[in-house]
Amino acid sequence: MTNILLIGCLGKMGKMVTEIANQSNYAKIVAGVDRLPSTDGSFPVFKSLKDCNVPFDVIIDFSRPDALDDLLSYSKENLKPVILCTTGYTKEQVDLISEASKVAPIFRSGNMSVGINVINNILKNISSFLYGDYDIEIIEKHHNQKVDAPSGTALLLGDTIREAIKSETEYCFGREGNHKREQKEIGVHAIRGGTIIGEHEVIFAGNNEVIELKHTALSREVFASGAIRAAAYMKTKTVGLFNMDDVINNR
Residues with catalytic function: 142, 146
Q: Is 143 annotated as a binding residue?
A: yes
Q: Is 1 annotated as a binding residue?
A: no
Pure H helices in the chain? 12-23, 68-78, 91-100, 114-130, 152-164, 221-234, 244-249
Q: Around Cβ 34, how many Cβ atoms within 10 Å?
A: 18
Check the annotation: does 87 bind a ligand: yes
Helix axes 221-234, 114-130, angle to 10 degrees: 90
Per-residue three-class SS string for 111-171: CCCHHHHHHHHHHHHHHHHHECCEEEEEEEEECCCCCCCCCHHHHHHHHHHHHHCCCCCEE
The separation between CA 243 and the C-alpha centre of its own chain, rounded to angstroms, equals 9
**Residue 13 assigned to a binding site:** yes
Q: Is 151 annotated as a binding residue?
A: no
Report whether 172 belongs to an annotated binding site: no
Residue 90 assigned to a binding site: no
Q: How far apart are CA 144 and CA 220, in angstroms?
A: 15
**Is 11 marked as binding a ligand?**
yes
**Dihedral pair phi/psi, residue 186, rounded to 5°:** -110, 105
Q: Is 85 annotated as a binding residue?
A: yes
109 is in an annotated binding site: yes
From CA 179, how far away is CA 182, in angstroms rounded? 9
Is residue 193 part of an annotated ligand binding site? no
**Is 9 a known ligand-binding residue?**
yes
Annotated binding site: 8-13, 34-35, 85-87, 109-112, 143, 152-153
Annotated binding site for NADP(+): 35
Annotated binding site for (S)-2,3,4,5-tetrahydrodipicolinate: 143, 152-153
Annotated binding site for NAD(+): 8-13, 34, 85-87, 109-112
